[in-house]
Amino acid sequence: MNGVLLYDKPAGITSHDVVARVRRELGRGVKVGHAGTLDPFATGLLLVLVGRATRVQRYVMELRKTYLAVARFGFVSSTLDPEGEIVTTGVVPSGDLVLPTGELSQRPPAYSAVKVGGRRAYALARAGEPVAGQSDRAADGSENRRFAREEGSALGPRLTNSQFTRNCE
């Protein structure tokens, strides 16, 4: 079997959990992977690659995607998402807020799936090791936590992502 499965990932499971489930369903000997990790709290489109489709993963990763992030004002968590401990509280702003939209260049946060020195950044951060050497790049889903932190700080209040959904254009 070869192809791409469009999986609507619910909150509460990892992208790896989805791949493992598909592997079990298809049986031994079938390669299965995915085109982009979604955090456990995130929902939305996960492209599951099966068989020969796993060979085009790097091209599928470059397809345009859209993200809808819902942020909560008033606190920042240790992971910049609803799964971390609240580490800072602040003031909720009044009036209309203007946040940037469109394509943005951002530095991935410490709690992201990008690799630093061959290890996942989130693994280094959770182990208490410094996460350095990440470069700026165009924004994708992994940077929405950092965006919430920086834009929230620029506005004065604190901001943390509380909900996150990925779609395909």
Q: How do the pLDDT tens digits run along the chain, 169 residues long?
A: 899 999 999 999 999 999 999 999 999 889 999 998 888 888 899 999 999 999 999 888 888 877 777 777 777 777 777 777 888 777 777 777 666 666 666 566 677 777 788 888 888 888 888 776 555 444 454 455 555 555 555 555 455 666 667 776 6
Do 44 and 73 share a domain, yes or no? no
Claim to verify: residue 47 and residue 113 sit in the same structural domain: no
- What tens digit of pLDDT does each residue of 78-101 get? 777 777 788 877 777 777 766 666
Residue type present at position 47:
L
* Domain edge (last residue) among 19, 41, 61: 61
pTM: 0.65
Residues 34 and 116 in one domain: no
Same domain, 151 and 80: yes
Catalytic residue, candidates 8, 17, 39, 81: 39
Q: Which residues pair with 106 in a beta bridge?
A: 137
Range of the domain at 39: 3-61
Same domain, 87 and 38: no
Strand segments, DSSP code E, in 10-148 are: 32-34, 43-50, 65-73, 75-77, 86-89, 105-106, 115-116, 119-120, 137-138
Q: Are residues 93 and 37 in the same domain?
A: no
Tell me which residue has tokens 């690799």.
115
Same domain, 41 and 96: no
Instruction: Give residue 169's identity as a one-letter amino acid code.
Output: E
Q: Do 92 and 44 share a structural domain?
A: no
For the chain, what's the residue count?
A: 169
One domain for residues 158 and 85:
yes
Cα separation, 158 vs 74, whole angstroms: 5
| Secondary structure E strands in 108-148 | 115-116, 119-120, 137-138
39 is catalytic: yes
* Alpha-carbon gap, residue 35 to 44, rounded angstroms: 13
Residues 51, 132 within the same domain: no
Are 37 and 118 within one domain? no
Question: In the chain, how many domains are there?
Answer: 2
